[in-house]
Amino acid sequence: MRTVSTLDELRDSRLSLDGTVGLVPTMGFLHDGHLSLIRRARDECKRVVVSIFVNPTQFGPKEDLAKYPRDLERDFRLIEPFTDLVWTPAPESMYPTGYQTWVEVEAVTRPLEGAMRPGHFKGVTTVVAKLFNAVQPHKAYFGQKDAQQAAVIRRMVRDLNFPIEIVVCPTQREADGLAMSSRNVYLDTEQRKAATVLFHSLSAARELYESGERDAATVREKMKDVLASEPLAEPQYVSCADYDTLEELNEIKGKALLSMAVFIGKTRLIDNFVLG
């Protein structure tokens, strides 16, 4: 595995990568969720590039960029068996002084995470476009856990004609159903137990759907009821929306996305299930 940090080094190393190149963009502090993306890239591509960059522009003013967990040495050890090239750009090279160019996707970024975290997706799409331009992968891998991010990136790739296939991989879960996330390390023992309520709420809603319920309001109510049974859970939003546009549904017809953001203590967790 070759490790590079400057753009020149990245471009030089990229030239020597032959065949299909898969990119897995990450912010580091890797867990099994990231490793499942990297393994999938390894299975599908001749060469695998991983980027590790804690992107400052996708953090809001109240979100603590400085506290975002980091452990590069451990990350390198974990990905070494599956990765040809790892790129760890410096923030000043991604956003040099005077930086003023942004990539913004419109409607699909507005609801859900976009409504709660203004400016977040502008930071995500800008950095992902920059990573795509630099690495020029044939395929790029993202997790279904960040369902809106995946929908936004699919839209950006279509709209800007990036010749890149976006592969969205299933959410990796702990044995009790909690979706894997770098943020889970912030939960204490009691909060960690309480956090399974997201999975239970989504599971109850999916059961309702599987028993034939198609009224989206009833499905949303079911999710809220289960969340309300956990005193430590403070829901921020609960949604039953169209899978591609993320517009809230009245009736579930095609593919739909059940999603939620819930505070457990100070930790904000998100999770989702796809229906249909």
**Looking at beta carbons only, is 30 or 241 nearer to ligand PAF?**
30
Contact status: 26 vs ligand PAF (CB under 6 A): yes
DSSP 263: E
Choosing from 22, 25, 111, 114, the residue that interacts with ligand PAF (CB under 6 A) is 25
Placement of tokens 């800008």 in the chain: 126
Residue 35's H or E segment, with its range, is helix 32-44
**Subset of residues 82 to 141 that bind ligand PAF, contact rule: CB under 6 A:** 124, 127-128
Neighbour count for residue 77 (Cβ, 10 Å): 11
Strands (E), the chain: 2-4, 21-26, 47-52, 85-87, 139-143, 165-169, 233-242, 256-264, 267-275
Q: Tell me the window of 19-27, 109-117, 234-242, 246-254 that interacts with ligand PAF (CB under 6 A).
A: 19-27
Binding string, residues 179-218; x marks residues near ligand PAF by CB under 6 A: ----------------------------------------
Binding-site size for ligand PAF (CB under 6 A) equals 10
**Looking at beta carbons only, is 89 or 111 nearer to ligand PAF?**
89
CB of 124 to ligand PAF, least distance (A): 5
Nearest residue to 147 (alpha-carbon basis) of 51, 38, 239: 239
Q: In what order do the strands lie in the sheet with 256-264?
A: 233-242, 256-264, 267-275
**Looking at beta carbons only, is 52 or 256 nearer to ligand PAF?**
52
Choose, from 31, 34, 138, 200, the residue flagged as catalytic. Answer: 34
DSSP 206: H
**Looking at beta carbons only, is 58 or 191 nearer to ligand PAF?**
58
Token pair, residue 249, equals: 């549904």
State the Cα angle at 26 between 38 and 39, rounded to 5°.
5
Burial environment of residue 223 by CB neighbours within 10 A (0 to 12, 13 to 18, 19 or more): buried
Choosing from 7, 27, 65, 167, the residue that interacts with ligand PAF (CB under 6 A) is 27
CB of 34 to ligand PAF, least distance (A): 8
Binding string, residues 146-175; x marks residues near ligand PAF by CB under 6 A: x--x--------------------------
CB of 94 to ligand PAF, least distance (A): 10
Beta-strand pair 139-143/165-169: parallel
**Looking at beta carbons only, is 165 or 213 nearer to ligand PAF?**
165
Q: Is 34 a catalytic residue?
A: yes
Per the DSSP assignment, residues forming a β-bridge with 262 are: 235, 269
Token pair, residue 228, equals: 């309300």
Contact status: 38 vs ligand PAF (CB under 6 A): no
Q: Which residues participate in catalysis according to the annotation? A: 34
Point out which residues bind ligand PAF (CB under 6 A): 25-27, 55, 58, 124, 127-128, 146, 149
